[in-house]
Amino acid sequence: MLQVRLSLPRSPGGPAGGFPLAKPDKGDNTGSEQEMFGSSPVTIVITSEADTWDIDASSCLGCGQFVDWDRMPDPEQQAHIPRDILSKPPKELKKLAREGYWAASRALRAQVYHQLIQQVACRLVTPDAPVYRDVASRLFGKLSVSSHPLPEFLEGCSMPTYCLNLEGVTALKKILICVGNLFPDITYSPILPSLVALLLHYSEDEAQCFENISRLIASNAPHTSYIDQSFLAHQASCMTFGDLANKHCPAAHKLIASTSENVFEVYSEWLSWLFHDLPFNYAIRVFDVYLLEGQKVLYRIALALLKQYRLSVTSTELEGTDIKADLQAFVQNIAEHMTVDKLLERAFGIRLFSRKEIWLLQMANRKALMERGITMVQSRQSFHLAVDMQNFSSSIVTAQEMRIVWSWIPERFSLFPPLLLFSTSEDGCSLQRFYACCEGYEPTVLLIKTTEGEVCGAFLSSDWSERKKSGATSGFFGTGECFVFTVRPETERYEWVFIKKPELAKAVPRSRQRSPSPSPASLLSSSPDGRCTSSNCLAVPTLQRKGRLSPFLAIRHFLLPSKTASM
């Protein structure tokens, strides 16, 4: 028995919470206190040696005012730090950040953060420290008590405070309110409060922290994003993480798909794992490398957490468990499982796509969300449960088995519910009839049940009609996203070998390399001026020879030619 199901993109047809901002107590006026010192007794507080801290070695001038030092972890013991560390080239700085050099000195970390962020390419008109002082003075007044709601883009978002004291928490809210005032284009950004809170630990004052976060928001470096600023961008990032988890963490992905009703809902928390659930001494090390390497490093670390989670649990332990909450608890207690150095070591051992390739994948996922009409905040349940467990019917697979198969296909296609195109029980066993029913649709999922009750199948990324476009010489068609799988007796997916070992593509002699049919020119459906005219084509910039993509992504649905493409 045989069935084909289709995943086809179609054209789509509370006030924010208020937080009071505290003002300094009138009795705390610094000027009046200084005047009183001449005529009033001065109270001398003697602290024990354990309560003192060296402002040069363990802190930074001016950056301690927002920190609760009782909760702040001690600096890590480190070898001698070179005086010229801030002038080292980016590649060496990246290595030092990964090894945790900044953790040896709070003063050093504060200097490095400020210098690195000042070097971030950003829009010409970006609010700076003087702008913040002006806006904050206008919004809050110098000494007046004010109550202002947080920006609407933070509605429903958590606000970690890490080791901030009460003054730091107030500063955090003030900065976020000013960001909302000066960046009206931000509509959704759940990661922003965490980043501001982390920066405040190493900022001289509110204005410096605001200027630094503004530069990250306004970054315009090519193929680099620090902060998602809309629901669409955030959802696309979550889908991209789902794609990467599917490729790099197959065991964890299979476990989650078999125990969770909504796989995407689990993956949608991936940024919260890093900047909400991780303890401060882990989150700040993540922030160290994030400033130098951008969002790509966040994918790496989240994948490493997912891999470690799979090693620490079994499917029997998860029966009847809320896996989303269990993952959150695992990340919060990560210190019981691995050190921060080991976490980063494993993260950088994962061979990810290039920054440009990840950007292309995000753009493809954004396009799929827009085609589905998902651009504003809405219930995830309404658009990520594509396989309806109640109404799904098949004589080959159960609804739960279909949900697992659906979790394997790229996120941008799994947004759409399966549509039955062909079934031998309804359409007979004619191969010509099969082709007639399936041609004109892509991608498709093929399900086959043998007379012995075994079930296998394939995900086919290209239209079946592609087989006829290159004549008798076409021995294959499709892209690197194709894969075959078994459902019974065991559930397993088998991908293209180059996905697991991309270096094999470089070993194929050029004389033997063949480009997938049809030709890239016909696939791109471009107009004479080079613009994409097909509604199903993802428009991407022309790639230069120097930035050639990996053989896997070059022949994905991005429809980009590659000399290293081989089937």
Q: pLDDT per position in the chain (567 positions), as tens?
A: 566 555 444 434 444 444 444 444 444 444 444 433 343 343 333 333 333 333 233 334 446 789 998 888 877 665 566 667 777 887 888 888 998 888 888 888 898 899 899 988 888 888 999 999 999 988 887 544 357 888 888 887 888 999 999 999 999 999 999 999 999 989 999 999 999 999 999 999 999 999 999 999 999 887 777 999 989 899 999 989 998 998 899 888 888 888 887 888 899 999 999 999 999 999 999 999 999 988 899 999 999 999 999 998 876 666 667 888 999 999 999 999 999 999 999 999 998 878 888 888 888 888 888 877 776 665 444 445 556 666 777 888 888 788 788 888 887 887 777 888 999 988 888 888 998 898 888 889 999 999 988 999 999 888 888 877 766 555 677 777 788 999 888 888 887 654 444 444 444 443 333 333 333 333 333 343 434 343 333 333 333 334 444 444 444 444 444 444 444
State the Cα angle at 166 between 163 and 169, rounded to 5°.
Answer: 70
Name the residue among 331, 340, 378 with its Cα closest to residue 160. 331
DSSP for 60-81, please give it.
-TTTTTTB-TTTSPPPPP-SPP
Amino acid at 466: E
Query: Residue 232 in contact with residue 225, Cβ under 8 Å?
Result: no
C-alpha–C-alpha distance, residues 313 and 326, integer Å? 10
Predicted local confidence at residue 378, as pLDDT: 52
C-alpha–C-alpha distance, residues 275 and 242, integer Å? 18
H or E, element range at 91: helix 90-98
Q: Which two tokens stand for residue 371?
A: 């085609």
Using only C-alpha atoms, the chain has a radius of gyration, in whole angstroms, of 27
Which strands, in side-by-side order, build the sheet including 492-495?
419-423, 2-6, 444-449, 455-460, 483-488, 492-495
How many helices (H) and strands (E) would you count in the chain? 25, 8
CATH number of 231-372: 1.10.472.80
Predicted local confidence at residue 351, as pLDDT: 86
C-alpha–C-alpha distance, residues 33 and 24, integer Å? 13
C-alpha–C-alpha distance, residues 192 and 159, integer Å? 9
Predicted local confidence at residue 70, as pLDDT: 87
310: three-class secondary structure by DSSP: helix
pTM above 0.75, yes or no: no
Tell me the pairing of strands 455-460 and 483-488.
antiparallel
Which residue carries 């049919």 as its tokens?
517
- Surface-to-core class of residue 553, CB atoms within 10 Å of its CB (0-12 exposed, 13-18 middle, 19+ buried): buried
